[in-house]
Chain A
């Protein structure tokens, strides 16, 4: 695997004349936590979707856990998982039923035992018998993370993992994810708009704008490079720079 869990080269996605992702290259080292940052429409979700195989690229290559995602994604999907507040689970099923279904879909050995283990870890035991549609958004997020950890993924893709959580629960989830990452030696790629979260959790940052990676580095490197106090300021600086297209005009 040569130390990289994800290797992306020349990744491009065009929708008609618009390039949502435009020739992106990056590597995600094994066991790291990396953030994909950028404003709305920067290409983060499109990139994540291509990494997951939900979206076919217009050009470029994606290698995940040593496999070509475009040709053999079903070889690696059991080793990955994904969580996003914008993707749901069936509302009329109880939390336990949903987790059982996903445990079986991921081929988890002894799914009921694993379900109990994850439920205890994420403190959702009391929610297991409740219908998923009846949960608050914070509870839903915890259940979605439980689903994402059922198969003990080596690679975890998270789209805004703490969106809609109160500060206390969000802090708890971050601590849990960091702990999981350390225990399992997993790799995490997350898209987030919460710069405090990024500084705390991530060793690396890929900064996207208009479908391109415009900068990369550790939070400390980026803060130093732009002469700012924190990632929030770095983010605003990059986001407010004139776009390449505007400069060309």
Chain B
């Protein structure tokens, strides 16, 4: 048996990128071992892109609004999927731990709850990229539209929508930890409550005035208005970007706070050992 390295309690208690990487590795092993899981990640965004691509082709000749920026609906559907995939990337990765009754083993290891949060965010980014890059590339030969033609603004939109997905995903993971797998369906449906308010396919001004106040509280509304400003007017709206970033920071703090609070509650009520199917 080889000798133990010198152990430092303070170092053990500090943040460890290695532990975050270990959690990411666990989920990458899972993805790598199943091509159906990888296919599933890209399947729905691809189907959505194909559907909205044909709708766009129809509208280009029948709608003066779409005709001004032929790719607006394709860009919108791809970017909305960033929110959905970002949220699923966090909540499904967390659910995987519950489904496999692995949560107790993880939390008796030196893994800290905030390291788990970071690991979930990294996995969310990876899963989102696997989900939305293939349909974005497929749109180029199919509809002669490249979402990448937006340039740097696309990166700003992507990051903000991903962050919004993180905030939601952490909140849902917290709810699942608190209420168990009975709350898991939230992972699949919660985001759609925000879709009508996000102005994905239409300007926020379409909404009734009172609902517009609610809509502007969402980062996604600012992003999709910003996207249309770039595509229709060729202008990048820094004011919208700033609002989206500020709101995202608030919602991520809220989501992470809810997750950590749920973790503490789970330790008080003994839910960590009971987690799983």
Contact = CB atoms under 8 A, between A and B. Distances in A.
Interface string B5-39: 10101101100101101110110011001100000
A238 interface: no
B267 interface: yes
A76 B26 contact: no
11 contacts: A15-B270, A52-B108, A55-B268, A82-B108, A87-B273, A94-B33, A101-B23, A102-B109, A104-B25, A105-B23, A183-B1
A31 interface: no
Interface in A129-163: 147, 152
A223 interface: no
A70 B104 CA distance: 17
B254 interface: no
B120 to A, nearest CB: 15
Contact of B100 (A56, A72, A82, A89): A89
Q: Which of B16, B29, B268 has the largest number of chain A CB atoms within 10 A?
A: B29
A79 B112 CA distance: 15
Counting contact residues on chain A (CB < 8 A from B), the size range is 35 or more
A183 B3 CA distance: 12
Interface residues of B, number: 42
A61 interface: no
A92 to B, nearest CB: 6
Interface in B31-57: 33-34
A107 B19 contact: yes
Closest 5 pairs between A and B when the two form their complex, measured CB to CB: A104-B22, A75-B9, A88-B101, A90-B100, A74-B13
Contacts of A86: 273
Contacts, number: 123
A106 interface: yes
Given A74-B110, A78-B110, A87-B101, A101 B22 contact: yes
B111 interface: yes
B268 A107 contact: no
Interface in A69-127: 72, 74-82, 84, 86-94, 97, 100-102, 104-107, 109-110, 113-114, 117
Contacts of A97: 26, 29
B102 interface: yes
Consensus secondary structure, chain B interface? helix
A90 B7 contact: no
A192 interface: no
A171 to B, nearest CB: 23
B270 A49 contact: yes
B107 A105 contact: no
B182 interface: no
A15 B104 CA distance: 19
Interface in B240-277: 264, 267-270, 272-273, 276
Given A56-B267, A93-B29, 14 more contacts: A74-B13, A87-B101, A87-B102, A88-B102, A90-B102, A92-B33, A97-B26, A101-B23, A104-B18, A105-B110, A107-B12, A107-B16, A113-B2, A117-B1
B68 interface: no
A90 B109 contact: no
B273 A75 contact: no
Contacts of B96: 90
A46 interface: yes
Contact of A89 (B10, B12, B105): B105
Given A74-B12, A106-B110, A79 B7 contact: yes
A75 B11 CA distance: 8
B152 interface: no
A55 B102 contact: no
Given A53-B108, A74-B112, A92 B30 contact: yes
